[in-house]
Chain A
């Protein structure tokens, strides 16, 4: 809350920060009297002063930065010393320092689309982009700032080819799934490995599928690198099979004190695409027809008087209907359930330092108010970072990050009558509340399935996750000899998460029967890592450049959690805050586990004449999770690159400014299985009731598998990097093939053993794909520039073998009325499993239909759903099911165009995906349950004798017998093009900024998710409501995605 302090306090603070480097500089001068002081001005192409340009002496490493007027001052040892001037978006310039007698004037030239001199972070080191031998994608701070997002994953979406980020929910903080080059695993995690400032983050075991990465303030990120091919990943051997995401956080600055303040305000509104429900009038008509049709579809029940005319029913409900049975209300539950509440995000940075010591303090407060009522995420975070060259031979530093996050998940309870489901299913003729102030719920309408209205649920249900995360590291860099450096990093990450859930006493279908339920859960996950590695850099005989790396590492995670709960409260007053008030306490539980890694790794880079580059990597990894005989495994890789453009025949070519081809091969691993999977265990999950008392039983739990070993993924990659016309056009393309063997799976076993599964290495799977990215500078003129970037990723997955070798059901997919997913040899994972709906039986097919009994034993009639009877046995059951879709896209990517006119910037980012299917299981509730809840508007197109050519069964009272199965009607093409972000920004000119005593001032406005072109009938095809591995595209009522309007301000002091 520092930024809300009085101006006096802030002024005092900043004065101190401003003076601090000066004091240090003064001390510095006394020791080095012979220095030459160089001053100068840096201007852009238009001649405007350019603030923020980094000035650096090549020899001494000393650096400075230009002020608002473009001025800089730097000290050098001699006039021949080379100074570099670098600024994002401009070519780096090199100049001799000169005598310092007259000020230098530097004119910066806007850079090509890709700057090959950019330094890219790789595992255990950095490398110039031009020297990379592997496939590494990179995102810089400036790009991240274009689309402020709550989490790193959201910020990465669409940025890098080969990286598929699905933002599967409109919930603040979002539920994202991230896949790099497809799936590598059936049962183990498919999440990439995250490494923050060189510290590997543990793969989380937190509730709601969240990961330690979700707690990182994305405003703290300086750059992100994604390692994709085996050569770049292999240094993380065992853990890298799903790709590695390297995050570099913001550091201090060597050029004196700076203060930055970034703020944005946003409002969510109902998104561009939404599912349509019946309105009150339509519902009434539909229910009347449903009643009439019961006569046809259940003649016996009709004759027995089992059906009540809804017109009569309504007359007894004067609170809802007038005396003629017309509805008094027509509620749009979607509108009622949403809020347009202001969200805010404040980011305050203090950085400073000098050539020896830099430090940074970063504070963030984020309050995201979601589209649904009472949905929010609040995060406070603070980070301190310091780096100092404490002695000539040793540099030490570190960072400490604390995050406190609180979020209310209002859409939990998938499968039940939860808030997002009731938005669809609440009757439109209900008001939110009756005149007497009580909630109007579906339960009040006789014959309904029940449930409460969504506003009621959003108000009386809370599921608050409170997470505290401490992430820190300290390191020492010791210079042992010229070019030889030893680095030790001690990292720690502690995540403490509490879940506070309370469900109100009047929530039908949620806690009404229990008279209120409360659940508390607390989980502490502490992780440490200790890594030591030595790097050796040497150039031999002019043409040979060698970099060697050797290291070793230990990591350990300890998890402890406990949970308690209670039911039956006399009041909702306590919420989750007084379990003792529960008349029926649930037994508490606790759990503890730990796992550890131990690794040895090395890498050798060799470059000949800066044309031919070779990288060889190896890592020996040990994990506690495997059988005694298979704890350790070796993961090698190698890569070659040829900088063709450095060859004589291309050197100086006007057309081809850069051409590099590269190839790599390597093996990486995966060990993300449950702890203790190799041990035989007895469990206590058996509660017997004897003499009306709980007796805890001890019984079978897990089968031993001492042979359990590493899952391995071999990957080969061929890539090409091409720059044309002075790199105004740059293209990067990769072809890859990944094959996973010894896949870890909780493989089903004969249940006659009393066990359900055993963790085994069972089979193999492949991914092959193409990644292509192109960036162009279309127009570069004095006042106007236009750049574009486009990327596409294509991935094809196939299961090659299974040890079983039969199909596997029930792994990685939700089960909904039947298994929705299948793993089958020759098919991709994530395949949907179901019946093929041919349509509906017509009058002319009455006799044929009557041969079937799949409507709960009742004779099939015209107007009933007609399925493909694959084996022709006149029974429709699992034998007739088949693969009916897949949630993974064939291809996906983004197109971004940036226009700059003077100080105005306009950015348009489109995201697309094609070939991904959505299995919308809410079709079951929306189309096959007329009369017990509201339905989708599509039922207006249901079968009637006049409308026989339709997929939708004739409307009837649910009790008269619907047919509902996971089938092709539920599967829809989820291809889409999304208007991801439209940004309009204005950077104030230096003259104005200088007057305000600022170094930077920018104002911008964005609208995110502003259009969506898709054939999908539901809210949003980029969706899953399940956390399972292959559940992408499988949804059962999702948190709707908003269109978000934002304004923001960036201030630099």
Chain B
């Protein structure tokens, strides 16, 4: 630059050098010229100052729970992963090789759904970690509300880790916001024992966060916190931690707290389970929230029969549909198997609102949004606001029945009441006078038939190391179980855990070893 000026000055003092000088003066000392500030995004070090920022932070965590309904390639959403490996569900499309590999039990760590679950859950955790790190420093803020928000974050973090530890076993434990220089940016696997400790710590803390028992707004609530904790204890009592009777006791106590103090009851009809007016109420203790104007329920088309024109939707996929064997395993007269009243439909209205027509196969009615799909004489809107259930009171009752029976060595009257509440709603005869084993199997059977297609059955199989043989109505060992609907498929030890996502192992050399068998 200096040379340039000199050259000009020395040779000719003309208008041009003045021009050049003006230029140089205008732009010299322009260090700021290359400085950056993003006007459309925030910087983490300067945000989180007022209570609204705490609400925005926890909102981000809730929004991430919707990953369960997010897509995983052609004709598939993530929720299917937990269904198609149980033997209760199959697909009618065959167009998605990732889903095909799950159904065929020939998946590995590259499987898109296996990756999506990992990524989705850790994204929820990252948002909750931000809340737990940043919100305590916001001042002034109403302390009661602050505590609630921290409690909601702890619940959501526990919810995510509970999925992670059951799906993948030992997983990295991340409890603080990350940067590229964080100690845990390339984490190793943490033992399941420690993960469970974090989960129970978070949930115990959330129990005392001042949350209401129920919350029809869809937020975490005390009922959901305690229900999740009961489920966690029950799982810890079984495989793989095998903590046994003490934890069955913890589970049954926690479930009983809800039953006796929560003021919660079962819906009188199965229709309420997928009715827009009953969302986040009573039996629906915690749900993933959908609203068409923000984010519509994306599972509707996927669950419809493959191009049979039974709804207002123009694409009907049949991505995940019940297996015939499972559908036929319901007791005679079980209301849950009744066409369009229980959890299934085998006939529906042409175009969603026309003449009733047989479908020759069962489809899932439990999550069927009649407003979006249409019903007799009423055209569907194709806009689904229907939530996706996560924790249901029916589950709490069955957790109690199972845990009490194991904790105390025999079922008590309350356990029978809990189990029979489920059966009575299904218009089945109440059970009585069963042995501990027979009672336990009766509870399991009820779990399979009551909680199907809600992401529960697979985890029951893993914690019990049992599988339900729909053909014989008995339980057999997980390993070696042959799906009656598809006898070429046999469960093996390795299926007890999903593989760690290969991409994650590639990007994090410390994430070893891979789960056995993959």
Interface residues of A (CB under 8 A from B): 300-301, 304-306, 393-394, 443, 446-450, 476, 478, 480-481, 484, 486, 488, 508-509, 512-515, 530, 532, 534, 550, 552, 554, 556, 568, 584, 590-593, 595-598, 600, 622-625, 631, 675-676, 678-684, 686-692, 694-705, 748-756, 758, 804, 806-807, 809, 815, 817-818, 850, 852-859, 874-879, 924, 928-929, 932, 958-959, 961-965
Contacts and interface: CB of A to CB of B under 8 A. Distances in A.
B489 A857 contact: yes
A622 B289 CA distance: 47
A877 B101 contact: yes
A624 B38 CA distance: 12
Most buried by B among A393, A758, A857, A965: A857
Given A550-B3, A676-B41, A853 B34 contact: no
B179 A878 contact: no
A690 B217 contact: yes
A687 B62 CA distance: 8
B37 to A, nearest CB: 8
B486 to A, nearest CB: 5
A690 B218 contact: yes
Contact of A804 (B98, B178, B219, B506): B506
A681 B219 CA distance: 27
B185 A853 contact: no
Contacts of A478: 14-16, 19
B306 interface: yes
B1 A600 contact: yes
Interface in B87-128: 90-101, 103-108, 110-112, 118-119, 122-123, 125-127
B126 A753 contact: yes
B422 to A, nearest CB: 29
A878 B94 contact: no
26 contacts: A394-B16, A488-B19, A513-B383, A584-B292, A684-B41, A687-B59, A687-B63, A689-B290, A697-B127, A698-B47, A698-B57, A699-B61, A700-B130, A701-B41, A751-B504, A753-B174, A753-B185, A754-B126, A809-B503, A854-B104, A856-B103, A876-B106, A958-B93, A958-B95, A959-B306, A962-B95
Contact of B508 (A681, A752, A853): A752
B324 A300 contact: yes
Contact of A393 (B1, B14, B294, B385): B14
A902 B304 CA distance: 73
Contacts of A698: 42, 47, 53, 56-57, 59-60
B47 A596 contact: no
Interface string B17-38: 0011001000100100111101
B143 interface: no
Most buried by B among A692, A696, A705: A692
A437 to B, nearest CB: 21
A877 B119 CA distance: 20
A689 B127 contact: no
B503 A695 contact: no
B97 A584 contact: no
Contact of B119 (A624, A751, A855): A751
A801 to B, nearest CB: 15
B186 interface: yes
Contact of A751 (B34, B64, B123): B123
Interface stretch (B237-245, B307-315, B390-398, B465-473): B307-315
Contact of B90 (A704, A856, A962): A856
Contacts of A961: 94
A396 to B, nearest CB: 12
Interface of B: 1, 3-4, 7-8, 11-12, 14-16, 19-20, 23, 27, 30, 33-36, 38-45, 47, 53, 55-64, 73-74, 90-101, 103-108, 110-112, 118-119, 122-123, 125-127, 129-130, 171-172, 174, 177-180, 182, 184-187, 216-219, 289-295, 306-309, 312-315, 318, 324, 360-361, 382-383, 385, 485-486, 488-489, 502-504, 506-508, 511
Most buried by B among A512, A597, A697, A876: A697
A857 B90 contact: yes
Nearest to B325: A300
B8 A877 contact: no
B105 A857 contact: yes
Most buried by B among A691, A753, A877: A753
B43 A681 contact: yes
Chain A to chain B: the 3 pairs with minimum beta-carbon distance, closest first: A754-B126, A697-B60, A699-B60
Contacts of B503: 748, 809
A682 B44 contact: yes
B309 A855 contact: no
B39 A593 contact: yes
Contacts of A530: 23, 27
A593 B295 contact: no
A852 B185 CA distance: 39
B20 A486 contact: yes
Contacts of A680: 43-45, 179
A749 B507 contact: yes
Given A591-B40, A686-B59, 9 more contacts: A478-B19, A593-B39, A681-B42, A682-B43, A695-B62, A696-B56, A818-B98, A854-B104, A856-B104
Contacts of A817: 73-74, 95-98
Contacts of A879: 108, 110
Nearest to A956: B94
B106 A877 contact: yes
A704 B125 CA distance: 19
A682 B312 CA distance: 39
A7 B306 CA distance: 67
Given A748-B507, A817-B96, A858 B486 contact: yes
B38 A857 contact: no
A615 to B, nearest CB: 19
B61 A964 contact: no
B108 A683 contact: no
A82 B516 CA distance: 88
Contacts of B92: 959
Contacts of A688: 59-60, 62-63, 289
Contact of B33 (A596, A694, A751, A856): A596
Most buried by A among B44, B61, B73: B44
Contacts of B107: 877
Given A680-B44, A698-B42, A749 B185 contact: yes
Contacts of A600: 1
Contacts of B56: 695-698
A755 B97 CA distance: 26
B462 to A, nearest CB: 19
B42 A699 contact: no
A957 B333 CA distance: 34
Nearest to A707: B180
B94 A958 contact: yes
B100 A963 contact: yes
Contact of A697 (B16, B62, B180): B62
A877 B290 CA distance: 33
A689 B19 CA distance: 60
A887 B98 CA distance: 25
Contacts of A631: 34
Nearest to A451: B314
Nearest to B127: A699
Most buried by B among A304, A631, A754: A754
A313 B52 CA distance: 59
Given A554-B27, A698-B47, A817-B74, A625 B314 contact: no
A821 to B, nearest CB: 14
Contacts of B47: 682, 698
A484 B56 CA distance: 62
B178 A755 contact: yes
A754 B178 contact: yes
